[in-house]
Every structure is written in C-alpha cells, then in structure tokens.
Amino acid sequence: MIALLQRVSKAEVVVDAVTVGAIGHGLLVFLGVEACDTPVEADRLLDRLLNYRVFADADGKMNLSLGEVRGGLLLVPQFTLAADTHKGLRPSFSSAAAPAQGMSLFTHVVAQARRVYPQVEQGVFGADMKVTLTNDGPVTFWLQVGGGA
C-alpha cells in the first residue's frame, strides 16, 4: 500500500462543486492500493501515517507526529500511485488493486483512522475530485508497506 503524504496548512477535496473533505493544518494523504495489499498492510500504513514525525518541534526539527500537533488528516484515494512507470511513455496499472479491493481497503483505512483519531476527512473513491492544498514547507513523503516496499 502506498501513501504520498504532504504536510499542509490547508487542504480541500471537491466533488461536483461540493466540498466533501477539508482540513486546516495537518496531513493530506493520497492512498494507492496494490493488488497484493491486505488489511494488514493498510493497518501498518495507517500506524505509520499517524506517528510519522514530520512536524517541527520547538527547535525546528521534524520531531512531532500528527497527533502531537493536533492536525487534521485528509485521506484521498488515488489509484495512479500504484502505476508502473519504469518503461515506455504510458503508465501500466497491472499492479494496482481492482476497484472493489481498492475501495474496500480505502474504506478500511478511513474507518480505522476515525476509530483512533478525532480529525479525519476523506475524498470519494472513484470520483473526479478537485484537490487543492497549501503545502507547508514543502514537505512531501512517499511511504510504502507491502507490495513493492
């Protein structure tokens, strides 16, 4: 399972001109599901997201997690993260999860996140989403568990 996380000052997801998820200071996380992923990988990735230290402490070092700064978490499904781009001029999605599996694992991550963290927003699986953000730093990381990790 793949997460592209960005530390943001604010982020918003709009579907059909309606805001479906928005946060202030926190993490915007694009999630990609690979065919080999299971709830085990999803849970490990969520644990890493919630505890990854990408926020500055009093000394200006990246030493604080999302919970320690009480930031928002915006989870957005993005199957294109599972693309194979190693050759050619067109991405291959052969390693990406089928839509039903992708939706199931994305829904699992959102449900688990809401169970353990108070500020969770989400995008809409399979929708044409418009995502806006103000990247703070910029700070962007690629996290991967299972699959090609």
| Per annotation, catalytic residue among 6, 30, 55, 78 | 78
Catalytic-residue membership of 38: no
> What SS3 class is residue 38?
coil
Catalytic-residue membership of 78: yes
| Per annotation, catalytic residue among 55, 79, 106, 125 | 79
Catalytic-residue membership of 80: yes
**Helices 39-51, 99-116: inter-axial angle, 10-degree rounding:** 40
Q: Evaluate whether 140 touches 3 at the Cβ level (below 8 Å).
A: no
Longest CA–CA span in the chain (Å) reads: 46
> What SS3 class is residue 59?
coil
Active site residues: 78-80
